[in-house]
Structure 1
Amino acid sequence: MTEIKKVAVIGAGVMGSGIAAHVANAGIPVILLDIVPQGANDRSALAKGAIEKMLKTKPAPFMHPKVAKLVTPGNLEDDLDKLADVDWICEAIIENVDLKRKLYAQLEEKRKKGSIVTSNTSTIPLDLLTEGLPESFAADFAVTHFFNPPRYMRLFELVKGPKTKPAVIDALRRFGDVKLGKEVVDCKDRPGFIANRIGIYWSTVATALAYDMGLTVEEADSIVGKPMGIPKTGIFGLADLTGIDLGPYVVGSMLKTLPKTDPLHQFYKADHPLNALMQKMIKDGYTGRKGKGGFYRNRGKEALDLKTGEYRATKRANLESAKVARKGLRALVEHEDKGGQYAWGVASRVLSYAADLVPEIVDDILAVDLAMKTGYAWKYGPFEQIDQLGTKWFADKLKAAGMPIPKMLEVAAGRPFYKEENGKVYQLTTKGDYAEIVVAPDAWMLADIKRGKQPIASNRGASLWDVGDGVACLEFHTKMNAVDADIITMVKEAGKIDKKGFKALIIGNDADNFSVGANVGIALFQANIAMWPAIEQGISEGQDAYMKLKYAPFPVVSAVAGMALGGGCEITLHSDAIQAHAESYMGLVEVGVGVIPGWGGCKELITRAITNKRRPGGPMPALAQVFEAISTAKVATSAMEARDMLILRDGDGITMNRRRLLADAKAKALKLAEDYKPPVPVEISLPGPTAKAAMSLAVEGFFQQGKATKHDVVVSGALANVVSGGKTDITEVITEKKLLELERENFMSLIKTSATLDRIEHMLTKGKPLRN
């Protein structure tokens, strides 16, 4: 198999530069080339400007500023010779087939033999792109379609041509999966491939129907949003996010290439009033969030009236159907109000459309569902949604409405598209039989392991599972995986798994977030009735549970993905190692609710900073870094940034593909178990009152400048007391036990203040910190 060790991206626009940035995120050197601007002093100004812009962009295309150094800017006139040692050249220029072919002819002269060339197109058929080019070029050519922004959108559509070598597809699939962390979906060479073919039709239907049925943009977004498993932006909010000016372009491109029999031709009407309104918006600069506004403006405080074209104050949608949707998709589409009718209008057309595209665009239904979930962030794919409705119910409902029955619905004949038997999952094929969905041994989710099995131990907050080879997995399953007494109980149980024959433990789950921290609602309730001994006991039990895990006679590896905050971050700090998904957002954020980390988080960062061999001279710079991180509730915006904060250490790993995280964590745990010895207890020396005074002085300065609040000073003072070591000096030894006592004492002093209780209540009711 061809190994991709160096990449070139041609085209430094938003998409091309984003692809280059994500290749750099994977640690792969990449050359970014674009044209020479007319009259430019710097001939590589476009590529250099794109890199500079990405370093300032939020959300950031780069996982860490340092990886930008892996991107080498250049231009297409002076730097084509640099392609001689590149393994993969990805073209991402404008959608013009003549320009692309001209570029390919230039690449053919300069690229090394056997190097892969791909296009990021989604509108031009592959056979047109390679027309007139040598067979050797066609053999190395494919389409690799990323979704924007490339760092965050997981879908990677892969299309081969009739002459593409199998080794090319194998190399791209492996690289996209392991290195780039993508859900690689093989597609047929059809217009829009999978996600855009369905997604463009879906957005066209949902917006036009909303207008025709007299819904406001708020009402439409309240239905074609969370109730239908769509991102919370809703359909009009999504248009604002992607750019309203993009809509006519992508629809126009699809209409040019789709057969006249495609439903998009029947549904899309150029003279529809909504299209006229959108054209006027584009002309006036109302292109969405990147323009003066879109269907919403003024940070969502105003919404566009679709009938008058004027802005008005945003109104809260109050459709009963949106509330009924909690009972499921069928309850929503069966509801008689206009929201329910709208939901059925969208679902009936879009799900039918998707069900009729198999096997035209792809041979299996799973690929369709994966594409929509990872490319358009749908919670459920079209075939999963039809299963929720019931295939027979859906077919009967379509028939009653006088709508055609899709091919795959006829194949299903009342049976589900997916079924589970004996711990395995099967999908319905186009032939009408069921095929097993095979789970790779190095790429699985916990649900794949749990299916058909019982846990080793379980309570309402967490469970222990046997994941094979003598490894157990501790899974949290509270709301947002917030740590509560049940989880602490199961952490204690996990500390004894060696007595049940296990040799290693991983801590992880399938949720979007590892854990958002402690359940502060419980602490607020206890504090309001002055249950101080109960709160202190909870802190002590958490400290004890985490410490026993740290010094257990077997290795513990935390498999982190999404948010690992507060108490959730603290358990990872007490693990022997962390295997983090690249998109891990970790930090100790307790000051936001007016307390400090109380389950050993301060202790762990302090000891790591002091014992860090690369720390600057003397303890103060290292302690200042810890103090700043905790006092500002700093959260790493990637696993790479978490390494800077000492949350991840040198031996910790980063996994790009979420589906591979638990398998990588298990492999790390087994490796550690080969000759495992528990860590040696840490003893350090800290400066004491002199360090506390310096930290407190800095916070007082921020208070005087208006950058810190009155209670910030109080909370930071308590934190400074812990980070400095309390009443000690640099000649004395401080144990972990002493640091835990300091954490507990200072946590309790803060939880008893009314200002902290106000912060906790505000966070619970408003979802954001109170600046008091």
Structure 2
Amino acid sequence: MPIKQACVIGAGVMGAGIAAQIANAGVPVLLLDIVPKDGTDRSAIAKGAIEKLLKADPAPLMSKAAAKLITPGNIEDDLDQLGDVDWVVEAIIERIDLKQGLYHKLEGKRKKGSVLSSNTSTIPLAKLVEGMPETVQADFCITHFFNPPRYMRLLEIVGGVKTRPEVLKDISDFGDRMLGKTIVRAKDTPGFVGNRIGVFWMQAAVTAALDLGLTVEEADAIMGRPIGAPKTGLFGLLDLVGLDLMPHVDKSMASLLAPDDAYMKLRRPWPLLEKMIADGYTGRKGKGGFYRLNTAGGGKVKESINLITGDYSPSDRARLDSADAAKGGLRTLVEHKDKGGQYAWKVLSALLSYAASLVPEIADDVVAVDQGMKTGYNWKRGPFEMIDQMGAAWFAEKLAAEKLPVPPFLATAAKAGSFYRVEDGATQHLKPDGSYTKLVRPDGVLLLSDIKLSSKPIIKNGSASLWDIGDGVACLEFHSKMNALDPDSLALVKQSVDHVGKKMKALVIHNEAENFSVGANIGLALFAANIAMWPMIDDMIGTGQSAYKAVKFAPFPVVGAPSGMALGGGCEVLLHCAAIQAHAETYMGLVEVGVGLIPGWGGCKEMLLRYQPGPRDPRGPMPPVAQAFEAISLAKVAKSAAEAKELRFLRKDDAITMNRDRLLFDAKQKALALLAAGYQPPTPQELRLPGPTGRTALQLAVEGFAQQGKAMPHDVTVSDALAEVLSGGKTDITDIVTEDQISKLEKKAFMTLLHTGPTLARMEHMLTTGKPLRN
């Protein structure tokens, strides 16, 4: 049954977040809660939740317009609306009696055959459906989202003995394609996959830190990026999720696990945690946690707690040689002799052997477990990928040497060589019986990383590569640090257009890095400016304009497929594409003013064109100029692909892919569809711009902001240069301005600003601190 309408019952943070993600997918959703005891508005709780969604940061909604798809209500008056609903998600308090009471209440109201699921993170499915009618058991499953639902990609789906296969198929497909989730089919075991391993990791890391006498900074210095976890580390993560949650999770896990489970051996009373919670130190949502911000005396001093005494003192960055050694890999880290290395081994030896003991108990294969930890906890590698990086045989031998248990599956991997291997250009994974099976991607998933296993790039340099992705379509991949664009990147853009024009049909610009591109390599530009290599910079601007022009007017479709940040020059290359297939979590913007510059590779020109009035639009030339000026001068960045449409970085007919794993496939299909429709490149446009009068109007607005203290002196200078470009220079409303003329104005303004001291200061400050300088 296709899911065309949904309902979430429970308007707390999690339930509202799930409703928001369903709305982000363009699907209408009811959000219901109980009738409040006080007040006259019987749906006040759900309405309040929607108001919070609109104000929350980071935003649960990809566009404020999505809130219109969420209809508030209550479970006393609005259950009759469930007759039109295809999926009901229960997200209420973790009490079996309340959940089962709700399920009984829904019967007779629910659409026949609709999916009913629980977002429980702790209660087994068998307990939830015990004694329930057959109709409930047949339509029931667990859909465990991770918080926040918009940003965390993991969705664990658990079926019961009597759950219809169609239920699991429908909800998996919807979660994948529409909600953008990585689907992990977990088994009905305590904590499922993510929390079974994640909670063990946290418990092991806390107890090891106490046993080895590490400070919170030292523990986080190891349990963060060195092992491939987020930079928050362990104690930073506990502060983030809330310390008061931990005793509940621990108690729940302990009540469900067998007495001989390894987790049970880790548990111990921790009076410090109990005292912190009692005193209101519950993490970031409270007065602080393992870290706090001391604002006494008007200052802001970051402090950390002493794990033994409970006293706070100024936090200092941990200096551990082992943290640096981790650049050589996990094995180098755990073999290091300092206390950081000892700590890493004590945690990882327990964690990874525990994970190896849980397959196939919690999931059918290692892929599900690794995907669960990577998308549920934002780890760079899953447990089995970690073992492979160290060497399965080495890891098993070291465990045995220290008289630690070696799970049978780990012993099998040690004998076979690894949990993953590449055979005939395809990834295979080990099964508990010792055989390997091919890793099969779902239909509609095309990954560049898979293509690389069986092919070599068509063209390559240090910053970019061109790949054949089949059916006559090529993929241009940027791969410099943070995908910053440099002369090599630009050269390959031009070479790719030339190659595809001669030998292929279409081009997709895409990569699988965290960010599509953060823009031009300003470090290179600053270096060149400091030694007065002006011709080199001038040439780089000209090369970029030429390369992007080639993209725009290529005789074949070029489709941009971004995800993550697409800023500055990264945004500009997309603006020149025939079409864009954007991942929902694409953050686009022209941010050059932050370093004292303006877009120099056609960004000004393309934004002017995007804001041009239609043939029947009575507006004159000034509104489009003012709109483009506002977007660029304020360095507006769309915080989603949906918002990018609102800001005109994306056109109305550009498409959005919710699941990042499907992005390249969708972009390729878009390119092929354009070909099938008889694609023809655009013709250069001619504009009529206001000239000096328009520039003066924009200048007056900026000077007004300066007088109010909202704009700094160099903001005025940069804005004046931008106004000169967007108004068309020394033109007149009766004159025609070509795209090439605007490009020349861009280049001139860019070079002029680069010769100023305040711009160089902004560039240096950004490189040093990562933050814009207001000067």
Q: Give the TM-score normalised by the residue count of structure 2.
A: 0.98
Q: Secondary structure at the match of 2:584?
A: strand
Q: Secondary structure at the match of 2:441?
A: coil
| Aligned residue among 724, 728, 748 for 1:725 | 728
Q: 2:320 touches 2:340 (CA, 8 Å); kept in 1?
A: yes
Q: 1:7 touches 1:30 (CA, 8 Å); kept in 2?
A: yes
Match of 1:475 in 2: 477
Q: CA deviation at 1:501?
A: 2.2
Q: CA deviation at 1:211?
A: 1.7
- Mapping 1:306-455, distance limit 5 Å: 306-414=307-415, 415-455=417-457
**Residue deviations 1:666-704, cap 9 Å, x none?**
000001112011101111101111111111111111111
Q: Secondary structure at the match of 1:184?
A: strand
CA distance in 2, matches of 1:688, 1:290: 52
Greater shift in the superposed pair: 615-624 or 634-643: 615-624
Runs of 4+ in 1 over 6 A off after TM superposition: 613-616
Q: Secondary structure at the match of 2:612?
A: helix
One-letter amino acid matched to 1:555: P
Match of 1:261 in 2: 260
One-letter amino acid matched to 2:284: R
User: Are residues 401 and 749 of structure 1, via their aligned partners in 2, closer, same or farther at CA, if it must alter by over 3 Å?
Assistant: same
Q: 2:566 touches 2:588 (CA, 8 Å); kept in 1?
A: yes
CA distance in 2, matches of 1:222, 1:187: 31
One-letter amino acid matched to 1:199: G
Q: Secondary structure at the match of 1:560?
A: coil
Structure 1 gaps, min length 5: none
User: Are residues 753 and 426 of structure 1, via their aligned partners in 2, closer, same or farther at CA, if it must alter by over 3 Å?
Assistant: same
One-letter amino acid matched to 2:737: I
Q: 1:699 touches 1:713 (CA, 8 Å); kept in 2?
A: yes
**Residue deviations 1:376-425, cap 9 Å, x none?**
10100000000011111111111111111112112223310000012110
Match of 1:116 in 2: 115
Match of 2:629 in 1: 627
CA distance in 2, matches of 1:456, 1:568: 22
| Aligned residue among 277, 283, 297 for 1:282 | 277
User: Are residues 564 and 613 of structure 1, via their aligned partners in 2, closer, same or farther at CA, if it must alter by over 3 Å?
Assistant: farther
Structure 2 gaps, min length 5: 294-299
One-letter amino acid matched to 2:433: K
Match of 2:712 in 1: 709
Q: Secondary structure at the match of 1:114?
A: coil
Match of 1:183 in 2: 182
CA distance in 2, matches of 1:499, 1:626: 32
CA distance in 2, matches of 1:689, 1:388: 62
Match of 1:45 in 2: 44
One-letter amino acid matched to 1:318: R
Q: CA deviation at 1:261?
A: 1.3
Q: Does 1:22 align with 2:25?
A: no
Q: Does 1:167 align with 2:162?
A: no
One-letter amino acid matched to 2:378: A
Match of 1:685 in 2: 688
Greater shift in the superposed pair: 615-624 or 325-334: 615-624
One-letter amino acid matched to 1:356: S
CA distance in 2, matches of 1:190, 1:40: 42
Q: Secondary structure at the match of 1:33?
A: strand
CA distance in 1, matches of 2:309, 2:597: 51
Match of 1:636 in 2: 638
Q: CA deviation at 1:83?
A: 0.6
Match of 1:589 in 2: 591
Q: Secondary structure at the match of 1:347?
A: helix
CA distance in 1, matches of 2:762, 2:424: 49
Q: Secondary structure at the match of 2:508?
A: strand
| Aligned residue among 739, 764, 772 for 1:761 | 764
Give aligned-pair identity as a percent.
Answer: 61
Match of 2:531 in 1: 529
**Residue deviations 1:146-204, cap 9 Å, x none?**
00000000000000000000110110010000000000010110010000000011101
Q: 1:363 touches 1:430 (CA, 8 Å); kept in 2?
A: no
One-letter amino acid matched to 2:643: E
Q: CA deviation at 1:283?
A: 1.2
One-letter amino acid matched to 1:747: F
Greater shift in the superposed pair: 615-624 or 111-120: 615-624
Q: CA deviation at 1:621?
A: 2.7
User: Are residues 478 and 666 of structure 1, via their aligned partners in 2, closer, same or farther at CA, if it must alter by over 3 Å?
Assistant: same
**Residue deviations 1:112-166, cap 9 Å, x none?**
1111100001211111111111112100000000000000000000000000001
Q: 1:423 touches 1:452 (CA, 8 Å); kept in 2?
A: yes
Q: CA deviation at 1:768?
A: 1.1
Q: CA deviation at 1:616?
A: 8.2
**Residue deviations 1:329-352, cap 9 Å, x none?**
000000010000000010000001
Q: 1:441 touches 1:663 (CA, 8 Å); kept in 2?
A: no
Q: Secondary structure at the match of 1:483?
A: coil
One-letter amino acid matched to 1:398: L
CA distance in 1, matches of 2:188, 2:419: 24
Q: Does 1:296 align with 2:297?
A: no
One-letter amino acid matched to 2:727: S
CA distance in 1, matches of 2:31, 2:619: 40
Match of 1:144 in 2: 143
Q: Secondary structure at the match of 1:315?
A: coil
Q: Secondary structure at the match of 1:646?
A: coil
One-letter amino acid matched to 2:303: E
Aligned length: 767
Q: Does 1:553 align with 2:548?
A: no
Please tell me the root mean square deviation across aligned C-alpha atoms, in Å: 1.2
Q: CA deviation at 1:439?
A: 2.7
One-letter amino acid matched to 2:346: G
CA distance in 1, matches of 2:453, 2:616: 46
Match of 2:576 in 1: 574
Q: CA deviation at 1:500?
A: 3.8
Match of 2:675 in 1: 673
CA distance in 2, matches of 1:235, 1:319: 16
Q: Secondary structure at the match of 2:773?
A: coil
Q: CA deviation at 1:718?
A: 0.3
Q: CA deviation at 1:300?
A: 7.1
Match of 2:193 in 1: 194
**Residue deviations 1:686-739, cap 9 Å, x none?**
111111111111111111111111111101110111111111121111100010
Match of 2:99 in 1: 100
Match of 1:503 in 2: 505
Greater shift in the superposed pair: 445-454 or 223-232: 445-454
CA distance in 1, matches of 2:358, 2:398: 20
Q: 2:613 touches 2:619 (CA, 8 Å); kept in 1?
A: no
CA distance in 1, matches of 2:496, 2:49: 49
User: Are residues 498 and 220 of structure 1, via their aligned partners in 2, closer, same or farther at CA, if it must alter by over 3 Å?
Assistant: closer
Q: CA deviation at 1:529?
A: 1.3
CA distance in 1, matches of 2:301, 2:434: 48
| Aligned residue among 715, 724, 745 for 1:742 | 745
One-letter amino acid matched to 1:167: E
Q: CA deviation at 1:244?
A: 0.8
User: Are residues 441 and 97 of structure 1, via their aligned partners in 2, closer, same or farther at CA, if it must alter by over 3 Å?
Assistant: closer
Greater shift in the superposed pair: 595-604 or 524-533: 524-533
Match of 2:239 in 1: 240
CA distance in 1, matches of 2:572, 2:390: 42
One-letter amino acid matched to 1:484: D
